[in-house]
Amino acid sequence: MPGTPHVVVLDYGSGNLRSAERALERAGAKVEVTDDSRTAIECDGLVVPGVGAFAACAAGLRAVGGERILEQRLAGGRPVLGICVGMQVLFERGVEFGEEAAGAGQWPGTVEKLQADVLPHMGWNTVRAPEESRLFAGMAPDERFYFVHSFAARRWEMEPVEPFTPPTVTWAHHGEDFVAAVENGPLWATQFHPEKSGDAGRRLLENWLATLQ
């Protein structure tokens, strides 16, 4: 349909591709699942999903030219949404079970094991979104989202640089605070799974799709 945003779910061998595809379609997008770099660069919005180990996801992303795709999209101000490990690999590095792996390096910092009595962090949890968040616009403070992870960015290390608007960082708590979502210019990401978060996830995806118009 005219006016329907064209969204690509990047297929790099990791992620709930079909569930992400279906959730985005329900939210109002025309969705294509592909590893084709040109299509991924030229679409209205790119979704980078991810499940499993940081190192494997980072390697898979590189294998399809993912870092170049990200660089070209972001240089042109074209929106990208990372989900779960697809968010984690945007950081400089990840450390899992003593193995360190380089990420895409869009943000400084390390993804590492959460300090919590119960892992994985699995199930529904609330988040603390700043008032200026566009991703969580119109949502109640007690809205809940679905998480499945044991590793996260436990600190936000990007220093503000004038005259640029600093990123909007949303936090959640499981044993300790961790980064639950980031809105940084055209690069947005969530540690939780909006495609598994019911109506709340659909509204969040609708908020992202609204930025593609």
Q: Convert the pLDDT of each residue in 145-172 to its tens digit.
A: 999 999 999 999 999 888 888 999 999 9
Residue 149's domain comprises: 6-210
Confidence of residue 15 (pLDDT cuts 50, 70, 90): confident
**Alpha carbons 177 and 63: distance in angstroms, whole number:** 32
Q: 142 lies in a domain?
A: yes
Region 208-213: mean pLDDT is 93
Query: What is residue 213's predicted lDDT score, i.e. its pLDDT?
Result: 73
Contact 44, 79 (CB under 8 A): yes
Number of domains in the chain: 1
- CATH code, 42: 3.40.50.880
More confident residue, 6 or 164: 6
In percent, how much of the chain has pLDDT > 70? 99
Q: 1 lies in a domain?
A: no
Q: 129 lies in a domain?
A: yes
- The dihedral built from the CA positions of residue 19, 34, 32 and 27, taken in this order, carries a sign that is positive
Q: 205 lies in a domain?
A: yes
Query: What pairs with residue 151 in β-bridges?
Result: 113
Catalytic residue IDs:
84, 193, 195
Q: What is the mean pLDDT of the chain?
A: 96
Region 109-125: mean pLDDT is 98
Q: 51 lies in a domain?
A: yes
Span 29-84, pLDDT tens digits: 999 999 999 999 999 999 999 999 999 999 999 999 999 999 999 999 999 999 99
Query: What is residue 14's predicted lDDT score, i.e. its pLDDT?
Result: 84
Q: CA nearest 33: which of 3, 64, 62?
A: 64
Q: 198 lies in a domain?
A: yes
The b-or-e profile of 11-32 (16+ CB within 10 A means b, else e) is bbebbbbeebbebbeebbbebe
Region 98-102: mean pLDDT is 94
Q: 156 lies in a domain?
A: yes
Query: What is residue 1's predicted lDDT score, i.e. its pLDDT?
Result: 44
Q: 160 lies in a domain?
A: yes
